[in-house]
Structure 1
Amino acid sequence: MAILKPFKAIRPRKELADKVAAFPYDVVNSKEAKIIAKDNPYSFLHVDKAEIDLEDGINIYNSKVYDKAKENLNYMINNNILIKDDKNYLYIYRLTMNGRAQTGIVGCTSIDDYDNNVIKKHEHTRKEKEEDRIRHIDVCNANTGPIFLAYKENKKISNIINEWVESNDPVYNFIKEDKIKHEVWVIDNDIIIEKLVKLFKNTESLYIADGHHRAASAVKVGKMRREKNPNYNGNEEFNFFLSVLFADTDLYIMDYNRVVKDLNGLSTEEYLSKVLEKFDLELYKNNGPYKPECEYTYGMYLEGKWYKLIAKKGTYNSNDVVLNLDVSILQNNLLSPILGIKDPRTDDRIDFIGGIRGLEELEYRANNDMRIAFSMYPTSIKELMDVADENKVMPPKSTWFEPKLRSGLFIHNLD
């Protein structure tokens, strides 16, 4: 049983929504954020990446950064750039990329559902990244970025969403510089809201698609508030965190590719010989990069040539949902034993490139600061859910979701 709670969103004035909406804090670095927001005082990057408004080179974990984020958020609220709704609503958020739309419900989900594993995870989190978001949420007194959740499609939910979208005009409708269209509707009908809340009560599980650190941090802030308010009744806003919930059939996962700095001391011939022990290998003679067409296949770019790799039997375990993932097969049979990448989460000899950047980016990196690149077949949403259902975790950088949710369109205050 999943709890979905309507809330009073803090959100942009209609005419400023496209200027406020910004990439999530973890999609752009400080330098990129500063360039993007330079001529846009409305950009939500001034809140999510507040270091851009402080001296160059400041540590992003400096307390000044969190204080500046709070200052900037309050400025946007006090100057009516952001306005708080006067009633509890649910919202619909649709993103359209290359003609393909995904439509989610924006509301709040429960920190207890997270603890009780109604909200399921598939990744480990890192302590320093959690601590960063804990401080950001706590100081700002708000969830400033939504958690990206998935649920198994329910036709009744889909019908309600579609009927509302067809019968009502969006409050926001804009296209950002990356050509992605963003539309938002406010569900202000109490009967419809109650129907959706009840339907989600009959939903067995929600799955974190993206935002594990934000979710874990929001839960910990909620527990901190409970300790400070021992007489809490469970209905306070700090018991919930901002989420966007999408049907699994709506979601699109792209490939998440790998580049490695060197051959771990091996010559090219020695390396290829070791690869052949676990993979069938053939030179890809077609023009351009090789994009895997099915599971257990990989592209490999080395010294100006593309190869097709096919994992041999014995490199995967069909009875283990994690070991059967393409990312696991590559890690366990090539990256670790041959190239010496034991922990891809921390090893600085490996880097990861989202499929949105194209395979040409792999060639560029391998020809410049890296040595070898691997193109991957995308992990499926079913695989993600299967891993989460078994309370297991995926290897790092297994999924790259597109399009990315924009921050700043919805803020959830914890009071």
Structure 2
Amino acid sequence: MARIYPFRALRYDLARVKMEDVVTQPYDKITPAMQQRYYEASPYNLVRVILGKQFPSDTEQENVYTRAAETLHAWRKDGILAEESEPALYGYSQTYQVPHSNEIRERRGFIALGHLYDYADKVVYRHEQTFPKHKSDRMSLFKATRAYCEQIYMLYSDPAFTAEKLIFGVNGPNGADTTPADLAVTDEYGVVHRVWKLTDPNLINLIVTAMADKKLIIADGHHRYETSVAYAKERSAQLKLPLNQPFEPMGEDGKLPAGHLPAPSFPEAAMMMTFVNMDAPGITILPTHRVVHGLEGFSSPDFITKASVYFTIKELDKPDVSALANTTGTAFIAATGDGNYLLTAKPEVMEDILKDLPARQRHLDVVQLHRVVLDKLLGLDQETITRLGSVAYIREADEAVSMVTSGEANIAFLIKPITLDQLKDVSLAGDVMPQKSTDFYPKLLSGLAIYALD
């Protein structure tokens, strides 16, 4: 059972700040240059909490986490952030232009608290592996601030568009909005984010009930989710309260009693999430290209010779990702300082070499890239990649290629994006793909709402 809860969010006081100046991209998408820009935009920019600056003089008593907690406390005390007067869910839409196209899409969902489940409970499913270092960083931040300032992006399936009709109107996911948004902000990528506050208890309970039988797939936020589950278990033991206590009793009609709003048994048992219906339009998954650096004695001709055992090789005039669109089966482009090549997998060879994997994974481009190319041909298994940091994950193909042509890297691999069906099949089967297998666009904006545990 997928439990969701309304909550009294902390939100910026629009009379005190300009939202464009205080919101940010998710912490793991913030470059040093972006961090500095956010710092300069406003003394109340959320970056000071989710990804503050570190200094050589930092100690156990004074550091990036303690400063984050002090900052958040000061903003609440000064009224920069104010708690809502009543529990709510929040409709959330993002209108954006698909990168490298003229297509305009709108992705719709809603923000709520989501109960924290262990993967073994088979309610929440992951789709990719995680980095331990990132989880320890988030744990330190959560414990210091006692707040969830960013959302997990959760996918679910509902062909009937139940939540969309309740939140956005009777015409479904493409219908007219029932009321004007109470917040609209445009981010640095031109994405328009709109938020609707929903406080009607009957509406909230209809959505809560509609979500109760759903399975959830993490689209973005694996590290934060796993960290939050660990935190919830820790607090469950300390408070001697069960993490998965029975849900509030439903009436004979399968709904919660009128006016009764569900709540987690203790604050850490849930965290803030945005729920998006996989069956609705508007979801975009971009590819994440791989760039390899630090290879001693790397030779492009030697690599291509070895790769020809597993792939059909075609030399390209330029590393144009459009060449991938015309391929059938698994394929990716290898861009080296000596040439550019289209590598198309030999199906019978891949079936044999990846026979230890489920069939649903053997034909995934990203799996073949990691298991065959990075591991077998370049000697970079996942442990080595994590330890050495020898693989960079890049959204833009031109940027990936330029790192090779400049001599900064040895080789770049341009890859096709994972499809939503592939992600769903792998996740619900309990499998995981390599790190950074997906890049959902656009990202959820940080700062629209905050879940304070105290």
> Scaled by the length of structure 2, what TM-score is found?
0.83
Q: Distance in 2 between matches of 1:270 and 1:325?
A: 25
Moved more, 26-35 or 236-245: 26-35
The amino acid of 1:218's aligned partner reads: S
Contact 2:241 2:265 in 1 (8 A): no
Change (3 A) 1:199 1:60: farther
The amino acid of 2:124's aligned partner reads: I
Moved more, 182-191 or 345-354: 345-354
Change (3 A) 1:238 1:286: closer
Moved more, 128-137 or 162-171: 162-171
Which among 261, 276, 282 is matched to residue 246 of structure 1?
276
Q: Alignment length, in residue pairs?
A: 408
Q: Distance in 2 between matches of 1:231 and 1:153?
A: 32
Which residue is equivalent to 2:236? 226
Q: Note the alpha carbon deviations across 1:308-346, whole angstroms, 9 max, x for none.
A: 221111214695223331111122222222122222333
Contact 2:300 2:338 in 1 (8 A): no
Contact 2:153 2:220 in 1 (8 A): yes
Shift of 1:394: 0.8
Which residue is equivalent to 2:249? none
Shift of 1:61: 8.9
Change (3 A) 1:333 1:360: same
Q: Distance in 1 between matches of 2:121 and 2:291?
A: 37
Q: Note the alpha carbon deviations across 1:371-396, whole angstroms, 9 max, x for none.
A: 21111010112222222212121112
Moved more, 2-11 or 310-319: 310-319
Q: Distance in 2 between matches of 1:380 and 1:61?
A: 44
Which residue is equivalent to 1:8? 8
Q: Note the alpha carbon deviations across 1:3-53, whole angstroms, 9 max, x for none.
A: 111111111223532222111111114554123322421210011112x2x
2:106 partner SS: strand
Which residue is equivalent to 1:78? 77
Q: Distance in 2 between matches of 1:10 and 1:322?
A: 42
Contact 2:109 2:164 in 1 (8 A): no
The amino acid of 1:363's aligned partner reads: V
The amino acid of 1:345's aligned partner reads: T
Change (3 A) 1:288 1:223: closer
Shift of 1:291: 4.9
The amino acid of 2:202's aligned partner reads: I
Change (3 A) 1:114 1:171: farther
Change (3 A) 1:401 1:175: same
Change (3 A) 1:61 1:256: farther
Q: Note the alpha carbon deviations across 1:260-297, whole angstroms, 9 max, x for none.
A: 22665353322211111111111224785555215412
The amino acid of 1:65's aligned partner reads: V
Q: Distance in 1 between matches of 2:442 and 2:298?
A: 39
Which among 135, 145, 166 is matched to residue 177 of structure 2?
166
Structure 1 unaligned runs (5+)? none
Q: Distance in 1 between matches of 2:272 and 2:295?
A: 44
The amino acid of 1:327's aligned partner reads: V
The amino acid of 2:330's aligned partner reads: Y
Contact 1:341 1:347 in 2 (8 A): no
Alignment identity in percent? 25
Which residue is equivalent to 2:139? 134
Change (3 A) 1:327 1:109: same
Counterparts of residues 44-123 of structure 1 (less than 5 Å): 44-50=46-52, 52=53, 55=55, 57=56, 64-98=63-97, 99-112=104-117, 116-123=121-128
Q: Distance in 1 between matches of 2:228 and 2:295?
A: 41
Which among 275, 297, 303 is matched to residue 331 of structure 2?
297
Shift of 1:193: 0.9
Q: Distance in 2 between matches of 1:324 and 1:297?
A: 10
Contact 1:219 1:241 in 2 (8 A): no
Shift of 1:85: 0.7
The amino acid of 1:161's aligned partner reads: I
2:380 partner SS: coil
Shift of 1:251: 2.1
Q: Does 1:410 align with 2:449?
A: yes
Counterparts of residues 151-230 of structure 1 (less than 5 Å): 151-155=156-160, 156-163=162-169, 166-203=177-214, 205-230=215-240
Change (3 A) 1:304 1:36: farther
Which residue is equivalent to 2:398? 360
Structure 2 unaligned runs (5+)? 98-103, 171-175, 246-263
Q: Distance in 2 between matches of 1:297 and 1:121?
A: 25
> Scaled by the length of structure 1, what TM-score is found?
0.91
Q: Distance in 1 between matches of 2:203 and 2:285?
A: 30
Q: Distance in 2 between matches of 1:133 and 1:62?
A: 18
Change (3 A) 1:301 1:322: same
Q: Does 1:270 align with 2:302?
A: yes
2:25 partner SS: coil
Q: Distance in 1 between matches of 2:83 and 2:431?
A: 39
Q: Distance in 2 between matches of 1:306 and 1:116?
A: 46
Contact 1:123 1:396 in 2 (8 A): yes
Q: Distance in 1 between matches of 2:278 and 2:190?
A: 23
Which residue is equivalent to 1:379? 418
The amino acid of 1:248's aligned partner reads: M
Change (3 A) 1:371 1:196: same
Q: Note the alpha carbon deviations across 1:218-237, whole angstroms, 9 max, x for none.
A: 12222222233225775222
The amino acid of 1:43's aligned partner reads: N
1:385 partner SS: helix
The amino acid of 2:207's aligned partner reads: L
Contact 2:401 2:412 in 1 (8 A): yes
Q: Distance in 2 between matches of 1:59 and 1:122?
A: 36
Change (3 A) 1:201 1:132: same
2:312 partner SS: strand
Contact 1:290 1:375 in 2 (8 A): no
Q: Distance in 2 between matches of 1:276 and 1:88?
A: 60
Contact 2:335 2:404 in 1 (8 A): yes
